């Protein structure tokens, strides 16, 4: 191919978690492996994750912690490369870590430890990394693929037998996220499931926002549900709506037009508690009683919003029931989310029906692979998306290495 400057066995688009994981395994084969990224540094989303500490996996990672049009697709990769396999890699590199809550594992020092680990593994197998490089065209050839590139070395063309798309979804565009991976999928005839922001704060109408402004900064445990799905974690009131782990989790399941229900006192019957307090201490105000279970500002806001300020002794069962409902079954209609600007992941992506779940290779395009966030597999908050990156990257990498 006379117009090609270099030839590789494998080219990987995206130097993120999945791409680098794939490179360190694909590179163990006989051929040259090249990782391309338009960013100035590798692993940018790794670097900012977990408050700079990188929540790199979760002890409880299992297929039921993922959203996909095909809930069975992720089983193969997740079962063959588990959280314990990645933990073993972390320990072999001497990276100190700790469990925070709910099985979430974080680096003790910095997310940079995970990036350095991946780069060291890539170097060990001779995988090459080129940054600040744009891909302007991808074409199918008789022997694989041809890519037109532009970067520090100018315009170039490279050829490869295997092309791995690991350039992520649309979340956090300021970090360079684009829909390029979906474009490649469509170019080669693969379907793309509709995408939407996941793990993002929810927004509301003007009436709710005015109320939330007075509560901004208040947080507390809650159970947030949408349909049959529920998460019990903390919520946070903001000037624009609701955030916090429970809200971020449910946002991945929420669809426009659907309501969500918030239980501000999980495992407690607020109506029964208020009735009991009325019988034993009716001179107390509703707000003063609620401060025993809720943050003070929220305890004051709820009866005020319900028009039930005053002493418990003056409250009928009907009024106490209304307060109880506002606490245990608070139903809200979000108007949207904060969008891809702050969303931690993209829900949807390359339709798994077109991929082999064992190798991540496109069924009808030999040599073309899709891994990580670009695929229609989205994990819960708490290290699950990184585990999908490790598992899917490994699956593609060992499949490629086995062919070399």
Residue ranges covered by each domain of the chain: 6-195+348-403, 202-337
Are 358 and 392 in contact by the 8 Å Cβ rule? The answer is no
In this prediction, residue 311 carries a pLDDT of: 86
In this prediction, residue 58 carries a pLDDT of: 98
Helix (H, G, I), strand (E, B) or coil at 269: coil
**The overall pTM is greater than 0.85:** yes
Helix (H, G, I), strand (E, B) or coil at 3: coil
Q: Which residues pair with 345 in a beta bridge?
A: 198
CA distance 330 to 267: 15
Cα angle 166-156-144, degrees, rounded to a multiple of 5: 55
In this prediction, residue 323 carries a pLDDT of: 95
Helices (H), 39-82: 44-48, 75-80
CA distance 263 to 68: 27
Fold classification of 6-195+348-403 is FAD/NAD(P)-binding domain (3.50.50)
In this prediction, residue 1 carries a pLDDT of: 46
Helix (H, G, I), strand (E, B) or coil at 379: strand
CA distance 374 to 208: 34
Are 354 and 363 in contact by the 8 Å Cβ rule? The answer is yes
Written as six digits, the tokens of 292 are 């025993």
Q: Which residues pair with 83 in a beta bridge?
A: none
The DSSP string of 77-94 is: HHHHS-HHHHHHHHHHTT
Query: To which residue do tokens 């090609």 refer?
Result: 4
Written as six digits, the tokens of 43 are 């692993």
Distance of CA 58 to the CA centre of its chain: 13
pLDDT in tens, the chain (404 residues): 458 899 999 999 999 999 999 999 999 886 899 999 999 999 999 999 999 999 999 999 999 999 999 999 999 999 999 999 999 999 999 999 999 999 999 999 999 999 999 999 999 999 999 999 999 999 999 999 999 999 998 899 999 999 999 999 988 887 777 899 999 999 999 999 999 999 999 999 999 999 999 999 999 999 999 999 999 999 999 999 999 999 999 999 999 999 999 999 999 999 999 999 888 866 888 999 999 999 999 999 999 998 888 888 888 999 999 999 999 999 999 999 999 999 999 999 999 999 999 999 999 999 999 999 999 999 999 999 999 999 999 999 999 998 75
In this prediction, residue 403 carries a pLDDT of: 74
Is the CATH code 3.60.150.10 the one for domain 202-337? no
CA distance 381 to 391: 17
């Amino acid at each position: 191919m006379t117009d090609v400057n270099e030839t590789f066995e494998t080219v990987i688009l995206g130097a993120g978690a999945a791409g680098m994981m794939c490179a360190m395994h694909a590179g163990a084969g006989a051929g040259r492996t090249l990782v391309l990224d338009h960013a100035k540094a590798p692993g940018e989303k790794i670097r900012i994750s977990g408050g700079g500490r990188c929540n790199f996996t979760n002890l409880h990672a299992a297929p039921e912690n993922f959203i996909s049009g095909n809930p069975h697709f992720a089983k193969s990769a997740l079962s063959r490369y588990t959280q314990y396999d990645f933990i073993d890699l972390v320990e072999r590199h001497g990276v100190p870590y700790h469990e925070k809550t709910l099985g979430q594992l974080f680096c003790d020092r910095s997310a940079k430890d995970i990036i350095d680990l991946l780069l060291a593994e890539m170097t060990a197998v001779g995988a090459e990394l080129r940054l600040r490089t744009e891909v302007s065209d991808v074409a199918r050839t008789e022997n694989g693929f041809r890519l037109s590139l532009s970067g520090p070395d100018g315009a170039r063309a490279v050829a490869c037998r295997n092309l791995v798309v690991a350039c992520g979804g649309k979340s956090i565009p300021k970090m360079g996220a684009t829909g390029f991976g979906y474009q490649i999928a469509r170019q080669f005839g693969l379907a793309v499931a509709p995408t939407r922001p996941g793990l993002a704060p929810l927004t509301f109408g003007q009436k709710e926002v005015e109320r939330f402004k007075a509560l901004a900064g208040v947080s507390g445990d809650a159970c947030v549900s949408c349909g049959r799905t529920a998460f019990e974690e903390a919520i946070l009131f903001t000037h624009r709506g609701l955030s916090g782990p429970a809200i971020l989790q449910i946002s991945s399941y929420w669809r426009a037009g659907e309501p969500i229900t918030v239980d501000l006192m999980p495992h407690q019957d607020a109506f029964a508690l208020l009735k009991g307090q009325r019988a034993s201490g009716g001179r107390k105000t509703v707000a003063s009683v609620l401060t025993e279970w809720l943050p003070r500002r929220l305890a004051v806001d709820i009866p005020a919003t319900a028009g039930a300020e005053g002493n418990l002794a003056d409250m009928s069962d009907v009024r106490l029931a209304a307060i109880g409902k506002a606490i245990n079954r608070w139903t809200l209609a979000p108007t949207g989310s904060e969008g891809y600007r702050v969303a931690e992941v993209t829900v949807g992506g390359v339709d798994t029906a077109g991929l082999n779940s064992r190798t991540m290779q496109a069924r009808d395009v030999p040599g073309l692979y899709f891994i990580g966030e670009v695929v229609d597999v989205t994990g819960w908050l708490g290290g699950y998306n990184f585990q999908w990156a490790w598992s899917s990257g490994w699956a593609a990498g060992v499949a490629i290495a086995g062919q070399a």
